[in-house]
Amino acid sequence: MRLEHALCVVLTAATFPASLRGQSTLPPRRLGITAGINSATIAGGDVGEPSRRTGFIVGASMVAPVSPSLAIEPQVLFTSKGAKFEDSSGGGSIKMNYVQVPVLLRITAAPSGTMRPFVFGGPAIALKASCDLEGLVGGTSTSISCDQLESDGVKFKSVDYGLIVGGGLAFDVGGRTLSVGARYDHSIAEIDDASGVKHRVISIMATLEFPWMK
């Protein structure tokens, strides 16, 4: 092998890994804290026309980029679902709280000024933390736990699962990422073993994300 060719091979071998590293540079992983408001109702079965119930959603997330525009975002959330009911004799509500674990795929568009639009979607599973029924009849308010209805043959399920889709805008704030957005939580599981009723929740959320590691 001629000396010139040998030097060319050595230089190519030395610079090739560096070029790969440059092409595979990813944004840092981020840990986030989330808070928001739920507008929840139920659908399916024979529930009439329930009204929306306002609740809350809080928790934590991690954004793990797999490319400059694509990331996996697992979350752990405490979310409040349910619905309200009104009739001529009064009204009531069902309040169901869950610890929910969505695993979302997040796609971020090219930056537009200081904003980065994004969309996301994926499955979620949730464990029931509490369930209560409240009623107002003749000015008297009553409340019972859903567990108390088991003697009447009504059993509320402890696991909920479904699909989540949404989107929003992300902003750089002093090296941190502030994102605001909305999402739709569409339950596939029924809330009990008889009625065919499922959760439907719209959420408005804000998340502050902190760089964690490359």
pLDDT of 197 reads 92
Digit-coded pLDDT (tens) for 114-158: 899 999 999 999 999 999 988 876 667 788 888 887 767 778 899
Match 């610079």 to its residue by tokens.
15
> pLDDT tens, 152-196?
777 889 999 999 999 999 999 988 999 999 999 999 999 988 888
Contact 153, 193 (CB under 8 A): no
pLDDT grade, residue 14 (50/70/90)? very low
Helix or strand holding residue 73 (H, E): strand 70-87
pTM of the model: 0.82
CATH number of 25-213: 2.40.160.20
Every domain of the chain and the residues it spans: 25-213
Q: Distance between CA atoms of 201 and 17, rounded to whole angstroms?
A: 48
